[in-house]
Amino acid sequence: MAVYTHHLPAWKKDEVADIKKHAKEFTLIGLVDMYGIPAQQVQQIRRNLRGKAVIKVTRNTLIEHALGEIGGDTKGLTRFISGHSAVIFSNDNPFKLYKQLEKTKTKMAAKAGETAPEDIVIEKGPTSFKPGPIVGELQQAGIPAAIEGGKVKIRETKTVVKKGAVISAKLADVLVKLDIKPMDVGLALQAAFHDGSLYEPSVLAVDEEKILAQIQLAGQQAFNLSVNAAIPTRETLAAILTKAVRDARGLAIEADVYEKDVIDAIIGKAHRESQAIKSLVK
């Protein structure tokens, strides 16, 4: 791949200058893979990212050229350029951008030879098909179809392709007919440069459930510490008082300290004990 350092035509110079300008305006510069995304969907994605990210589609050579001119560590992005790369700019941090891009993914029909992103399961039950060659097509694709009551029916729920397996031409064809769209299509972040560091997608997929669970745990720990160590805060003092009183009541009931506040409970305890013995005696 040749790198044109001189004699670029004016429009190419403009493209390179545009990338460099954006790189100055945004804190994040990254590469996304546009492979296989229909133009219409690219428009939709751009709309969804408005205000959050800008996508610049241009020739790979020009992207490489611009990255070279920006220089420094940003140049490290060059090695992630692939056949259908576009440049993405954002002021979000790379994790947020990754999240945004994940959200813009939409479901599309599978093409023959594509890999199933998850188990594809056909539910049993009636279909809208009228009896005809479709029954044979379904059966050939491994779907247990039959005619029942003048309608085509799937006899039993079946996993037609496992996650990671290749979708055959026949299956792709019937999936379209069944209106099943198993493919997640969207911009895939190839790499991002932000705040002096290069981020690869492998580190950008954050387990948010885990972080939320940790937030809950931390909240619980702080509450426990405050109450158990009797450290009064505005939020926990009521709970501390309640615990202190509950402990006091518990002690009074356990130790038979006859006080007005707990005499009900002591009578209750005696009653339950008596019931237990009564049930043994009959």
Partner 1 sequence: MEYIYAALLLHKAGKKVDENGVKAVLTAAGVAADESRIKALIAALDGVNIEEAISKAAAAPVAVAAAAP
Number of residues lying near partner 1 (CB under 8 A): 85
Q: Where are the beta strands (DSSP E) in 34-105?
A: 53-56, 85-90
**Amino acid code (one letter) for 185:** V
Contact mark string toward partner 1, 10..49, x via CB under 8 A: ----------------------------------------
- Using CB under 8 A as the binding rule, the residues of this chain from 69 to 108 that contact partner 1 are 92-96, 98-99
Pick 40 or 202: Cβ nearer partner 1: 202
CB 102 within 8 A of CB 174: no
109 touches partner 1 (CB under 8 A): no
Contact mark string toward partner 1, 158..197, x via CB under 8 A: ------------------------------------xx-x
Alpha helices in the chain (DSSP H): 10-25, 39-48, 60-70, 94-103, 134-140, 169-177, 201-204, 208-228, 237-254, 260-281
- Of 26, 31, 1, which is closest to residue 191 (Cα–Cα)? 31
Contact mark string toward partner 1, 237..276, x via CB under 8 A: xxxxxxxxxxxxxxxxxxxxxxxxxxxxxxxxxxxxxxxx
Q: Give the position of tokens 């705040």.
A: 195
Give me the least distance between CB of 239 and partner 1, in Å please: 5
- Cβ neighbours for 190, distance < 8 A, ≥ 6 positions apart: 30, 31, 32, 33, 80, 81, 82, 85, 201
Cα 135 → chain centroid: 37
Strands 188-194 and 183-185: what pairing? unpaired
- Using CB under 8 A as the binding rule, the residues of this chain from 192 to 231 that contact partner 1 are 194-195, 197, 199, 203-204, 206, 208, 211-212, 214-231
Pick 176 or 238: Cβ nearer partner 1: 238
Pick 139 or 228: Cβ nearer partner 1: 228
CB 112 within 8 A of CB 172: yes
54 touches partner 1 (CB under 8 A): no
233 touches partner 1 (CB under 8 A): yes
Give me the least distance between CB of 45 and partner 1, in Å please: 19
**Amino acid code (one letter) for 119:** D
- Cβ neighbours for 46, distance < 8 A, ≥ 6 positions apart: 55
Pick 157 or 216: Cβ nearer partner 1: 216
Pick 2 or 229: Cβ nearer partner 1: 229
Pick 112 or 206: Cβ nearer partner 1: 206
Give me the least distance between CB of 76 and partner 1, in Å please: 15
Instruction: Extract the tokens encoding 143.
Output: 């779907």
